[in-house]
Amino acid sequence: MKTPMHMAKEKDTATIGFPYVLEKDQQAVALKKMQELQSSMRSLVVMLENCTKCGNCAKQCHSYLGTEDYYNIPAARAELMGGIYKRYFTWMGRTFAQLTGAGDFDTETLSKWLTYFYQCNLCRRCARFCPFGIDTAEVTIAARHILSELGIMPKFIQGIVANLKKTGNNMGLPKAAILDCAEFLEAEMLEETGLEIKIPLDKPNSDILYIPSSTDFFVNSDTMIGVAKLFYHLGVNWTLSSEILEAANFGLLFNLNVMRDHNQRLKKVANQVGAKLVIQGECGHGWRAAKMYTEGSSGPVSFGLIHILDYCAQHLDQLPLQKLPMRVTLHDPCNYARAGEIIEQPRAILRVCVAEFVEMTPAREDNFCCGGGSGILMDEMMDIRMKLGKKKAEQIRALGKLDYVIAPCASCKAQIPQLLKYYGMNELSTSGVMDLVGKAIILQKK
């Protein structure tokens, strides 16, 4: 029987290829890195060895469904690394390379890695439907890690890492700009509510360290306002830190050493301010990196770690919320639904805050990715991003008239408005969950 893998065609890949010629010594470095990953990521070898090429994953991957490109079938993408693994690390591959179809790690392979491992959003939907639980996202992470160890990564990601190192946030804005922005948001809230709602920065002896996505602080600031109003109402002792004003952790998406640095920064700053609790803001992959890898990266921690939507949901019975007259749906960020255990919390909050909440189909763990995750929000990827978001646009359109698509993740908040514009749903707005909490909460002077 022909599976989707047999029927699919390889498309012209030149459009987003990163022109690059593999130098001789880089091949040795790449193979050494792959060998290291084999020991540190045992799951990788299990995945590479056990795929039966049944093709089930093809129709579950929005990347393949949107592009119809053979190498965007999860198993075909994974085989880009699997072929190299077999060629260099198995007896059969070393001895009978041509018979086994095992490929060389050469410039052509490199070009395919660069193209297709950056067309995977690391959404993990394939793993959910694979009978063996094979998680192509893990293969993608390993491949991107190897590429970055060769010094190869998109400029967009390079810029973000440099910004983070210099300023503690992906946007590269210094402490003075953070203070200005905090003052501006306080003035906005004063004008709206008549209340002095503070956004403290670097405040010692704080019980809570709140880590927003920098874009929620500087750009989508209604999310930050919602959080500040929540903390005001609950009367908690909290602060932001200028050293880590960034929930995102791009290291998870391309280099595991960079991820560890960010996790270690989180622990250091939490200890500096004396936090008993660290609350992460609306960022999908950032939550996954913090939740799953903080202790693994930096050793045991003395504080709790929770997501803002979990925290808010746990305090719902203490919040004076009015129902906003709107019809909304929720986009489940992949890293919440398939890796972060943030599924029912946003639903519980939305049911209290809005007049009508409708579900997408499919939703929760089975939801489709918006096509913007995994660090590919760069403009040069726009055409591909729109293809990757085709399933999401179809899901939204099927719901009829809506006021908002709620997308509680900084990457989704950047991608979904572009999708709505591209697929002709201009009248629809995108928002975080905490934005609506900020609009629905009725505050009183403390």
Interface residues with ligand SF4 (CB under 6 A)? 51-57, 61, 63, 74-75, 77, 120-126, 130, 132, 134, 136-137, 140, 369
> Which residue's CB is nearer to ligand SF4, number 270 or number 388?
388
β strands within 259-381, DSSP E = 277-280, 304-307, 324-330, 354-358
Q: How far is the CB of 150 from ligand SF4 (least distance, A)?
A: 21
144 vs 267, beta carbon nearer ligand SF4 = 144
Q: Phi/psi of residue 10, each to 5°?
A: -80, 130
Task: Please tell me whether residue 277 adopts helix, strand or coil conformation.
Answer: strand
Task: Tell me how far, at minimum, the Cβ of 60 lies from ligand SF4, in Å.
Answer: 6
- Looking at the Cβ atoms of 185 and 256, the one nearer to ligand SF4 is 256
Minimal CA–CA distance to 244: which of 275, 288, 219? 275
For residue 157, the minimal CB distance to ligand SF4 (Å) is 17
Is 61 or 266 the residue whose CB approaches ligand SF4 more closely? Answer: 61
Contacts of 234 (CB under 8 A, 6+ apart): 315, 318
Residue 134 CB, nearest approach to ligand SF4 (Å): 4
Under 8 Å between Cβ of 259 and 249: yes
Query: To the nearest whole angstrom, how small is the minimum distance from the Cβ of residue 364 to ligand SF4?
Result: 16
DSSP-assigned letter for residue 90: S
Q: Which residues are registered as beta bridge partners of 385?
A: none
> What span, in angstroms and rounded, lies between the C-alpha atoms of 216 and 418?
17
For residue 97, CA distances in Å to 51, 93, 139 come to 19, 5, 22
For residues 122 and 441, which CB has a smaller minimum distance to ligand SF4 in the complex?
122
Q: Are 222 and 292 in contact (CB under 8 A)?
A: no
Kindly report the backbone phi and psi dihedral angles of residue 432, in degrees, each rounded to the nearest multiple of 5, phi listed first. Answer: -85, 175
Strands 304-307 and 354-358, by their bridges, are: unpaired
Report, in Å, the least distance between residue 206 CB and ligand SF4. Answer: 37
Shortest Å, Cβ 52 to ligand SF4: 5
* Cβ-based neighbour number of residue 315 at 10 Å: 13
Nearer to ligand SF4, 370 or 402 (CB): 370
Which residue, 67 or 430, has its beta carbon nearer to ligand SF4? 67
